[in-house]
Amino acid sequence: MSHSKASTDFLRNTEHAKWHDETLWMIREKRDLASQKVPEWENLRTLASSIKEHVLSNLDQLLLEFEANATKNGIQVHWAKDAQEHNQIVLDILKKQSCAQVVKSKSILTEECHLNPFLEKNGIEVIDTDLGERIVQFLHQPPSHIVLPAIHLKKRDISELFHQKLQTEKGNEDPYYLTQAARTHLREKFLKAKVAITGVNFGIAETGEFVVCTNEGNADMGVHLADVHIACMGIEKLIPRRNDLGVFLRLLARSATGQAITNYTSHFRGPEKGKQIHLILVDNGRTEQLGREKFRNSLKCIRCGACMNTCPIYRRSGGFSYQSTVPGPIGSILSPGLDLKKYSSLPFASTLCGSCTDVCPVKINIHEQLYEWRQEITKANPNHAEILSMKLASGIFKSPLAYRISGILMRKLIKNLPDSLIYNPWNVWGKGRKLPETPQESFRNWYLNHRNNEQ
Amino acid sequence: MEQSQPNVGLFIPCYVDQFYPQVGKATLEILEKLNCKVSYPLDQTCCGQPLANSGYERETKESCQQFLNSFLKFDYIVAPTGSCVHHIKERYSKILNAPELQPSLNSKIFELTEFLHDILKVELQGTFRHKIGYHASCHALRGLRLSKSSEVNTAPFDKVKSLFEKVEGLEWSQLQRSDECCGFGGTFSVKEEAISLSMGKDRLADHHEAGTEILTATDMSCLMHLKGLADKKQSTLPIMHLAEIINQIIS
Ligand code: SF4
């Protein structure tokens, strides 16, 4: 389904769509306030962007340094070239532990790799322990937002769901009550789990440690109770030094939710005695993206979600309309790199307003990359009718005479045809909007009659 | 005013030429009143942006060249649009693979209010007794940086509004969302019709609540979309391009 079709469906429920837009806008406003409290905000953005630039330019060296230091710390490092390899590595570790149930804190990477369905097919139960993720998991849905996975649902939906799944009181929508119910439910799972999976927000090459940021402390709870910790990390999540971390931590939570810092920022440096840490470094298309000069910057992303909250299209179409693991503006520049055909409508789901670029804490030129993907898509997926009309237009634009004739024709056409008969694009335009009235004469004609003495 | 009369090439975007000749006229008249020597090259066509934004940038090389042939000879190129100006300024040298073009594009081509502010250094004097709703068109705002966007935390500035500081009676509407996109977006407006309409309606509602009497912008395309929506709902919302307002003030 194209993005435009999906968003039309989303907008049918006007009340819900309005609520979705307003809720996310509120988060954008919180981000504004939080970022305005940091006088050096713009410098931080520039710095973060340059650090990531350095990382991308030296990724090979830094990864080796990271691996060496992590190994020295007692972390077992694995390399996965794609989702399949990643999933297999996780499964092998679980099998070795004879583990049939695993707790997992939030990780977009494991969503990208479709780890849950893979493990479930292999007889392993996965319990997502982030509250929002647990909610969408109950519903067999993917997250609709990378920071707020269940943002498409209202309190009422969650109350009903918990009533069915966790036997909470019917109709009780009190967030505190519902959260308590989820906590009790999850606690039981935490206590039983021998293996915990987490994502990684930052890997630090210099020290071989990695950092996980959460608000609920669920990553820590899982990891500390389990014997084995599996951390899944995209290779672009690296930063060179521990000193660099502060730059990113100051930007991340403020951009994401308007908090000064996430409630938990946990550093993992090595396993406790008798326990294991496995770190899986995953490529899955990242090296390829790094090789695409116009698009490599997209790998700077720290997954704060700010570009989604600010995007007027995302807010009015919901995360599912993108049908890709990472939705919104950043998803629309990452996903075409994974499957150009499947995601070909995403770069067009934008007015190129540039709000995403201005909000992005690592200064990814998102809207310019959307423009560039459009160029790639029309080359790769030729839509012959469209090409023909574009060639026609281009012929008109490059010849002043043809241009003039077409202008005269266009004005005549619009003037004389009833709304319903006006050719295609104007037809769509005319459903929700009136066409401009056609003036007596074009500017050009007026100019010729009144001013053109000297030419 | 500068001693020498600047030689200005007037670029009128295709849809303005065809549908809003009064905006072209106002632009021309403003520049003339401000002592510019203005010519409208008759061999101008479209800047190619609609094609390029649709993913057919490569088909626009010749129209870019056509534009440059018509306009590079002038001291300045001025147009009543942020969007086309941004496209020409930011993309032409890449499209034509001619980086040597960039400096002359940077120093020559301006959106109208940008030209008044940066080059002619105009301070408008006069009266305009209305509450104006200023729609910050995205390409003028975040592309040409005519004012500070709400996302960025630098010192505030607004080249457009600062032109009007001395104008009596003029009041700006205070919007809930000061610079959200109107949803026009060229072919987006038909490709993603539902969202485009929803975005436009939200902008109109914001202006309605703020008590906007006249809606204005640097770009007629945004106004065409918003006006089209308002008309369909049979709500009367006067629109004026900034050029028309300025021309009234300095007449
Ligand atoms: S692209 Fe930028 S704004 Fe969007 S999620 Fe990534 S870091 Fe955040």
pLDDT, one tens digit for every residue, chain B (251 residues): 445 899 999 999 988 998 999 999 999 999 999 999 999 999 998 899 989 999 999 999 999 999 999 999 999 999 999 999 999 999 999 999 999 999 999 999 999 999 999 999 999 999 999 999 999 999 999 999 999 999 999 999 999 999 999 999 999 999 999 999 999 998 899 889 999 999 999 999 999 999 999 999 999 999 999 999 998 887 788 999 999 999 999 97
Tell whether A405 lies on the interface with B, counting CB pairs under 8 A.
Answer: no
Contact status, residue B201 vs residue B225, Cβ threshold 8 Å: no
Alpha helices in A37-124 (DSSP H): 41-57, 59-72, 83-96, 108-112, 115-121
Helix (H, G, I), strand (E, B) or coil at A155: helix
What's the CA gap between B225 and B233, in Å, rounded? 13
Q: Count of CB contacts below 8 A, A vs B?
A: 216
pLDDT tens track, chain A, 455 positions: 889 999 999 999 999 999 999 999 999 999 999 999 999 999 999 999 999 999 999 999 999 999 999 999 999 999 999 999 999 999 999 999 999 999 999 999 999 999 999 999 999 999 999 999 999 999 999 999 999 999 999 999 999 999 999 999 999 999 999 999 999 999 999 999 999 999 999 999 999 999 999 999 999 999 999 999 999 999 999 999 999 999 999 999 999 999 999 999 999 999 999 999 999 999 999 999 999 999 999 999 999 999 999 999 999 999 999 999 999 999 999 999 999 999 999 999 999 999 999 999 999 999 999 999 999 999 987 776 676 676 666 667 677 777 776 666 666 655 555 444 444 566 677 788 888 888 889 999 999 999 866 54
- Determine, for residues B183 and A441 on separate chains, whether the beta-carbon distance falls below 8 Å: no
A444 → closest Cβ in B17, B186, B228: B17
Q: Give the total number of structural domains in chain A.
A: 3
Q: Is A238 helix (H, G, I), strand (E, B) or coil?
A: strand
Using the beta-carbon criterion (under 8 Å), do A32 and B228 form an inter-chain contact? no
The answer to whether residues A52 and A134 belong to one domain is: yes
Residue A289 lies in a domain: no
What structural domains does chain B harbor?
7-118 (3.40.50), 126-249 (3.40.50.11810)
Q: Are residues A43 and A169 in the same domain?
A: yes
Inspect the interface and report whether the beta carbons of A397 and B48 lie closer than 8 Å. yes
Residue A117 lies in a domain: yes
Domain end (from A251, A284, A317): A284
Which alpha helices (H) appear in A257-383, and where do they start and end?
286-290, 306-310, 312-317, 328-338, 355-359, 366-380
**Which of A235, A252, A284 represents a domain boundary (last residue)?**
A284
Q: Are residues A366 and A325 in the same domain?
A: yes
Q: Mark which residues 293-352 of A lie under 8 Å from B by CB.
A: 310, 312-313, 316-317, 348-352
pTM over the 0.80 mark: yes
Residues A404 and A256 in one domain: no
Closest ligand 1 atom, residue A255 Cα: 8
Q: Is this prediction's ipTM beyond 0.90?
A: yes
Q: Point out the ligand 1 atom lying closest to the alpha carbon of residue A328.
A: 4
* Chain B residues 48-77 within an 8 A CB cutoff of chain A: 48, 50-60, 62-63, 65-66
Distance set, CA B9 to CA B42, B73, B80, B193 (Å):
11, 8, 12, 35
Question: Among residues A337, A360, A380, which one ends one of the domains?
Answer: A380
Q: Does the residue A7 lie in any domain?
A: no
- For residue A332, is it within any domain? yes
B191 → chain A, closest CA residue: A4
The answer to whether residue B108 neighbours chain A at the CB level (below 8 Å) is no
Supply the pLDDT for residue A41.
98
Token output for A96: 């070795």
Contact A428 B138 (CB under 8 A): no
The three-class DSSP label of residue A384 is helix
Q: Between A4, A312, A447, which is nearest B180 by CB?
A: A312
- For residue B53, the chain A residues in CB contact (below 8 A) are 352, 371, 374
Give strand pairing partners of B180.
none
Distance A123 CA to ligand 1 centre (A): 35
- Do A264 and A320 belong together in one domain? no
C-beta atoms of A355 and B151 within 8 A: yes
A163 CB-near residues (< 8 Å, 6+ apart): A169, A170, A171, A172
Q: What pLDDT is recorded for position A425? A: 60
CATH code, domain with A210? 3.40.50.10420
Q: How far is CA A259 from CA A28, A29, A220, A345, B152, in A?
A: 12, 12, 20, 34, 18
- A65 and A196 share one domain: yes
Domain membership flag for residue A6 = no
Mark which residues 425-444 of A lie under 8 Å from B by CB.
425, 428-429, 431-439, 441-444
A334 and A200 belong to one structural domain: no
Q: In this complex, is the C-beta atom of B32 within 8 Å of any C-beta atom belonging to chain A? A: no
Q: Does B102 lie at the interface with A, CB-CB under 8 angstroms? A: no
Q: Is there a contact between B190 and A351 if contact means CB atoms under 8 Å apart? A: no
pLDDT of residue A384: 62
Q: Using CA positions, which residue lies closest to atom 8 of ligand 1?
A: A304
Does some domain include residue A26?
no
Considering the domain architecture, whether residues A161 and A63 belong to the same structural domain is answered as yes
A257 and A314 part of one domain: no
CA B168 to ligand 1 centroid distance, Å: 43
Beta-carbon separation of B228 and A353 below 8 A: no
What are the phi and psi torsion angles at B110 (to 5°)? -140, 145
Measured between beta carbons, the chain A residues lying within 8 angstroms of B231 are: 433-434
Residue of A433, A445, A450 for testing the chain B interface, max B β-carbons within 10 Å: A433
CB-count exposure of residue A16 (10 Å: 0-12, 13-18, 19+) = middle
Q: Are residues A140 and A272 in the same domain?
A: yes
Distance in Å, CA B23 to ligand 1 centroid: 39
**B14 and A349: CB-CB below 8 Å?**
no
A147 within a domain of the structure (yes/no): yes
Which atom belonging to ligand 1 lies closest to the Cα atom of A305?
Answer: 5
Cα distance between residue B140 and residue B146, in whole Å = 6
Name, in order, each residue with C-beta under 8 angstroms of A97's C-beta and a sequence gap of 6 or more: A194, A195, A227, A228
Q: Tell me which residue range forms the domain holding A325.
A: 306-380
Please give the pLDDT value at position B2. Answer: 46
> Does A173 contact chain B (CB < 8 Å)?
no
Q: Does the beta carbon of B162 lie under 8 angstroms from any beta carbon of chain A?
A: no
Q: Does A422 touch chain B (CB under 8 A)?
A: no
pLDDT for res A45: 98
CA–CA separation, A42 and A45 (whole Å): 5
Q: Shortest CA distance to A363 belongs to which of A248, A262, A205, A284?
A: A248
| A46 contact B CB<8A | no
Q: Which atom of ligand 1 is nearest to the CA of A329?
A: 4
Chain B contact probe: residue of A443, A445, A449, A452 with most B CBs at under 10 A: A443
Return residues 175-204 of A near B (CB < 8 Å).
Answer: none
Residues A89 and A199 in one domain: yes
Whether residue A141 is found in the same domain as residue A280 = yes
**What is the whole-number distance in angstroms between the Cα of residue A357 and the centre of ligand 1?**
9
